[in-house]
């Protein structure tokens, strides 16, 4: 005797097995089609905290592909541009931060830079890194009151001209 909350069984067990067989066949065909090249999203997990235009930097990560492309956008500009000449070595990309913006032909100031990579076989990376981004390390006091002074210690808290 079945419980009153169970639904009645369907009569066609053969239909269920044929549907499962079709799904397994479809999954096997998709897997075979995609197994030629394992594509993965580029991921950057290590970058320098500070760099000036003209400095050589290295991005460490995964799935850059054989010919990665590096893009950069200074915080003072609205458009991004491709960095020329990146060298890919195993899990790292080495390149020089350009001194001149190729779009505007102006000097790139010392500011915060948004850098990301593109694997031509996969597409854009979702892991952007921000070089020269302000990073608070610790405060002067463990508690902050409304009228008391507050000091923050960290890196890149002020990016002056020099």
How far is residue 157's CA from residue 49's CA, in Å, rounded to a whole number? 12
How far is residue 109's CA from residue 114's CA, in Å, rounded to a whole number? 13
How far is residue 86's CA from residue 32's CA, in Å, rounded to a whole number? 33
Q: How confident is the model at residue 28 (pLDDT cuts 50, 70, 90)?
A: low
Q: How confident is the model at residue 158 (pLDDT cuts 50, 70, 90)?
A: confident
CB 57 within 8 A of CB 142: no
Give the residue, 158 or 118, on which the prediction is more confident: 118
Average pLDDT in the 108-117 region?
Answer: 92
Q: How confident is the model at residue 27 (pLDDT cuts 50, 70, 90)?
A: low
pLDDT in tens, 86-99: 998 878 999 999 99
Task: Confirm whether pTM is higher than 0.85.
Answer: no
Q: What residue ranges define each of the domains in the chain, with the CATH number in brackets?
A: 43-131 (2.60.40.10)
């Amino acid at each position: 005797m079945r419980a009153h909350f169970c639904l009645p069984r369907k009569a066609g067990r053969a239909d269920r097995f044929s549907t499962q067989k079709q799904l397994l066949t479809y999954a096997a065909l998709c897997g075979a089609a995609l197994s030629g090249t394992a594509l993965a999203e580029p991921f950057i997990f290590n970058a320098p905290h500070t760099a000036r235009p003209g400095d050589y930097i290295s991005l460490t990560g995964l799935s850059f592909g054989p010919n990665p492309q590096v893009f950069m956008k200074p915080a003072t500009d609205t458009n991004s541009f491709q960095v020329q000449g990146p060298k890919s070595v195993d899990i790292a990309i080495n390149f020089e931060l350009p001194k001149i913006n190729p779009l505007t032909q102006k000097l790139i100031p010392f500011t915060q830079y948004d850098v990301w990579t593109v694997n031509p076989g996969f597409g854009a990376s979702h892991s952007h890194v921000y070089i020269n981004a302000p990073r608070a390390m610790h405060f002067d006091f463990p508690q902050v009151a409304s009228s008391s002074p507050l000091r923050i210690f960290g890196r890149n808290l002020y990016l002056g001209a020099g």
